[in-house]
Structure 1
Amino acid sequence: MKYTDIEITAESGLELLTNDEIARLSEHSQGGDHELFKKCVLAVLNSTQITDELDLYEEQLKYFDVEVLQLNKGVKLKLKNAPSSALVEGEMIQGLKEQVFSVLRDIVFLKQELESNSRIDFNTSNGCTNAIFHILRNAKALKPGIDPNIVVCWGGHAIPEFEYQYTKEVGYRLGLRGLDIITGCGIGAMKGPMKGALVGHSKQRKSNGRYIGITEPGIIAAESPNPIVNELIIMPDIEKRLETFVRLGHSFVVFPGGVGTAEEILYILGILLHPENKNSPFPLIFTGPKESSPYFERIDRFIGDTLGTEAQQKYKIIIDDPVAVAHAVQEGVYAVREYRKSTHDAFHFNWQLKIQWDFQEAFDPTHKNMSELNLNTNQPLHSLAANLRKAFSGIVAGNIKEKGISEVTKHGPYHINGDRNIMDQLDALLEAFVSQGRMKLNAADYVPCYRVLKPNKIEEHMPV
């Protein structure tokens, strides 16, 4: 791979800053924040590389650097040893340039904004929701006065080609109906719906299509933003990322995936199972091609055996029918619109949805925290869903996040334990993910970062 030095001028609203803000921005981009800033910028520039291996970026990081230059007319970034694949004729690709400045906005500028705002409090439930609103408003992602039309698409990055093509077809059908797309911004089932919607929007001459990518610092290097994303937003952690999806979206489509997709499913089901959300319309559709039918049968069985029929009633499964998916989404969006009107809730941000602190507090997947998760039936269903979500979140960290990989390398696999029935179902689901190659892109060399412990079995002690 070839590298080059380049300077780029500000985008994403950072072209309108005071000299004092620029000076503080330059200061915050150094020190402890600098390494994270570099990693996220490099991940954006490597969006053409289809990999979830961190080694690629770690080698490049040795030579890559980025510096914030102070100008009276705005901000300029000086990039050293940037991948030449991000440039055309010596100029950075415009979409990548916008994404780079989104990184500067959310990693550096937003941090100093939040630190100086005494009303922002990440240590309370209401504080988290207010902070998420602040971040989205700062990113200009909130569009008041527009009818609901945002579809959240979840699914895996490590999926076979036939599933990817199906996600494109569904996205195309959504785009023909003028619906915008939010995904986790990576490849696979995150890129496909955006690519399909782009074609649908083009056919309908919709020039203002929104392709919103929501990520977080721990995952961006492993799932670099795909080039279709025209609104990149980096949330502080996975919990804030997930809340952003449910506050911003109006309908939800889940494609086949792995543990990350299972985490998203359990997150949303846990919220919908809370009694205060019982009457809130929340369109949730699981879909894939006919070859993927066994995947959803396994997911549906896991949900039924752990959370029961009440949880199964919260979603609809549609197999091999993109048009039916688009119709269901459109009907769901209309129901959301009528409900928001009747309750005087905003179209652009779901304020009324009850999200408990257990779904908002950042979960640190240490070996101790993973082994102490309450995965027993002696708790409300929404609390069990919250803890199952954390178990899957830890596995995601152990698979692709730098900190999680380091934990597993030092101490061995995470130990997960709980009720025998839940552990049996969890073990079967994870085994299915492994056998189907859904854990990582390099599935052939996958070594599990976890062990599911079952009662009545003697296991050796795990250091914490």
Structure 2
Amino acid sequence: MTSRYVINASVHPKGSLETLSQREVQQLSEAGSGSTYALFRQCALAILNTGTQIDNAKTILEAYEDFEVRIHQQDRGVRLELINAPADAFVDGHMISSTREMLFSALRDIVYTENELSSTRIDLSSSEGITDYVFHLLRNARILHAGAEPNMVVCWGGHSINSEEYQYSKRVGHELGLRNLNICTGCGPGVMKGPMKGATIAHAKQRLVGGRYLGLTEPGIIAAEAPNPIVNELVILPDIEKRLEAFVRVGHGIIIFPGGVGTAEEFLYLLGILLHPDNADIPLPVILTGPSDSAPYLQQLHEFVGATLGETAQQRYRIIIDDPAAVAREMVKGLKEVKDFRCERNDAFHFNWLLKIEEGFQHPFDPTHENMASLQLTRDVPPHELAANLRRAFSGIVAGNVKDKGIRRIEQFGRYEIHGAPEIMKPLDALLQAFVAQHRMKLPGGRPYEPCYRVVS
């Protein structure tokens, strides 16, 4: 970024933020908690950059090193003072409404997370306690609508896809919207925007009021992938694992579009959960789809799953090529099974309590060089645990590609090494090389991809 335009502004809440106490304001001030302030500043800067083409946290942070956000407590609530903020977030001196809503959603989530973590009620040492924590974070954000129909479709896929894949994701979103289904994504660009955009038009055609476009993210991702402006419900979870659990707890069906390592990470996390013996009978429709030109990507992913996790894993999803209407019809069919199952088991529609998620899927994975090298990638572990470890490998590659902390680690210590059995490493290496050949591994500025990893058999 060689040039930029900035603005100073004072902004009041719009959205779901409650009034902050003096203690909470102190938490978010530099004097009160440097780490909390730094986290909110990073998230705020990403939100203010919504609409830009930059997907590298380090680039954004360095471009606006002099950006400041100050939180002021007033009798009528809270006020944010922004200094040297990106001017694109404003029109004629007024902040764009969707940006303002998301800015205060970030403030709400970060304050609540900090307060919850200091509460004696929170138990992060057990699987049940972590799930309860995720539930409370989502409830505080007011996205859990008791009694609402099970119609939330999660869409996963790449943030940097080609035009044909993006247009296809819009067509699928349009077909979903025509059937009165709502959309949940990671809230960024690409596939995270396309289905929402298509559903927006379809909801308007159906005169549907109150269409939901739910975005779930976490601090490391939001800095690299600013929310798209269609999102009307934004939740920032504390880490990737809480975010992934939120997806499968609030979503009633999942569609996976073409992407790269981030999409593979999400897919493997999902398969790891669905392969757990306790979840064998729980319905959750999963569809892999894309335009005809993306068929090789979907086939490679399918073959990788077969080679590493087996045929049982392949049976937990369907592949539909170049047919948005068929995708939507299949999803509607699957959602009916979900509704019937939950009615029989007296499970809530708004939060999937019955789904078994083990602690190993819930605790944050820190992709240090040591942790990446020590992943157990062999057939000696059960399939659902192997899926979890493969997911962690992809998570580390995502961090090394686009996240500020991961990029700096690679700069300091060199490439990650991923070790494992040859029968796992060979298909893993083939899949990653296919991602590179298909330009699904991208670096900012169009630079040639330099791997942040090395596969070792």
Assess same fold via TM > 0.5.
yes
Q: Do residues 353 (structure 1) and 348 (structure 2) align?
A: no
CA distance in 1, matches of 2:57, 2:339: 42
**What's the counterpart of residue 53 of structure 2?**
50
CA distance in 2, matches of 1:23, 1:36: 14
Residue pair 1:437, 1:444 contacting (<8 A) in 2 also = no
Residue 26 (structure 1) shift: 4.9
CA distance in 2, matches of 1:3, 1:295: 41
Residue 6 (structure 1) shift: 0.5
Structure 1, residues 338-371: CA drift from partner, whole Å, max 9, x if none? 1111000000000000001111111110111101
RMSD value, Cα = 1.4
Residue pair 2:27, 2:36 contacting (<8 A) in 1 also = no
Residue 23 (structure 1) shift: 5.4
CA distance in 1, matches of 2:32, 2:91: 27
Match of 2:73, as an amino acid? Answer: Q
SS at match of 1:445: coil
SS at match of 1:221: helix
User: What are structure 2's unaligned runs of at least 5 residues?
Assistant: none
Residue pair 2:26, 2:33 contacting (<8 A) in 1 also = no
**What's the counterpart of residue 149 of structure 2?**
147
User: What are structure 1's unaligned runs of at least 5 residues?
Assistant: 455-464
Q: Do residues 188 (structure 1) and 187 (structure 2) align?
A: no
| Pair 21,365 (structure 1): closer, same or farther in 2 beyond 3 Å | closer
Residue 259 (structure 1) shift: 0.4
**What's the counterpart of residue 290 of structure 2?**
288
**What's the counterpart of residue 279 of structure 1?**
281
**What's the counterpart of residue 365 of structure 2?**
363
Match of 1:428, as an amino acid? Answer: A
Residue 206 (structure 1) shift: 1.2
**What's the counterpart of residue 322 of structure 1?**
324
Alignment of structure 1 residues 191-230 onto 2, 5 Å: 191-230=193-232
Residue pair 2:28, 2:40 contacting (<8 A) in 1 also = no
**What's the counterpart of residue 164 of structure 2?**
162
SS at match of 2:70: strand
Residue pair 1:367, 1:414 contacting (<8 A) in 2 also = yes
Q: 1:92 aligns with which of 85, 95, 102?
A: 95
Residue 406 (structure 1) shift: 1.1
Match of 2:425, as an amino acid? Answer: M
Residue 12 (structure 1) shift: 3.3
CA distance in 1, matches of 2:296, 2:439: 14
Match of 1:60, as an amino acid? Answer: A
**What's the counterpart of residue 134 of structure 1?**
136
CA distance in 1, matches of 2:133, 2:50: 28
**What's the counterpart of residue 445 of structure 1?**
448
**What's the counterpart of residue 333 of structure 2?**
331
SS at match of 2:230: coil
CA distance in 2, matches of 1:28, 1:252: 43
Residue 29 (structure 1) shift: 6.7
CA distance in 2, matches of 1:416, 1:409: 17
Structure 1 window deviating more from structure 2 (398-407 vs 440-449): it is 440-449
Q: Under a length normalisation based on structure 1, what TM-score does the superposition of the two structures give?
A: 0.95
Match of 1:65, as an amino acid? Answer: E
**What's the counterpart of residue 344 of structure 2?**
342
Aligned length, in residue pairs: 453
CA distance in 2, matches of 1:11, 1:130: 28
**What's the counterpart of residue 377 of structure 1?**
379
Q: 2:105 aligns with which of 84, 102, 105?
A: 102
Structure 1, residues 154-212: CA drift from partner, whole Å, max 9, x if none? 00112111000000000011011111111011111111001101111111111201111
Match of 2:183, as an amino acid? Answer: I
CA distance in 1, matches of 2:37, 2:407: 21
